């Protein structure tokens, strides 16, 4: 009988360990973004920035949204559905710089 030792590799930069399966889950392809604005026009303009980044990662991204009026303006609750988890992750990394 052979015993295989499994050694977890630690990230030198942050000192943490993660299994790929805990980061990338099959079927995890939805992103929900509350896009705030002073009015609907402002919120839609901001939403278009997110959609442009999403289409760079996945030209076939499905977009749906629901407008909600709040005390300070409006919130456009936007849902982006990608074709796979990898495209979603690419979008999330790029979307950090969207304002």
CA distance 65 to 62: 10
69 vs 36: CA distance, rounded Å: 10
Q: How far apart are CA 9 and CA 27, in angstroms?
A: 26
Class of domain 25-95: alpha beta
The pLDDT tens digits of the residues spanning 15-25 come to 666 555 556 67
User: Where are the domains positioned within the chain?
Assistant: 25-95
Token pair in block for residue 36: 């705030």
The pLDDT tens digits for 37-84 are 999 999 999 999 999 999 999 999 999 999 999 999 999 999 999 999
DSSP 65: E
pLDDT value at position 79?
A: 97
Longest dimension (CA), the chain: 69
3-state secondary structure of 46: helix
């Amino acid at each position: 009988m052979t015993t295989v030792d499994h050694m977890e590799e630690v990230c030198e930069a942050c000192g943490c360990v993660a299994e790929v399966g805990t980061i990338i889950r099959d079927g995890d392809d939805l992103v929900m973004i509350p896009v705030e604005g002073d009015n609907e026009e402002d919120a839609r303009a901001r939403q278009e920035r997110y959609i442009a980044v999403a289409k760079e990662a996945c030209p076939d991204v499905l977009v749906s949204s629901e407008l909600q009026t709040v005390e300070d303006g409006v919130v456009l609750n936007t849902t982006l559905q990608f074709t796979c988890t990898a495209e979603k992750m690419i979008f999330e990394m790029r979307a950090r710089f969207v304002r």
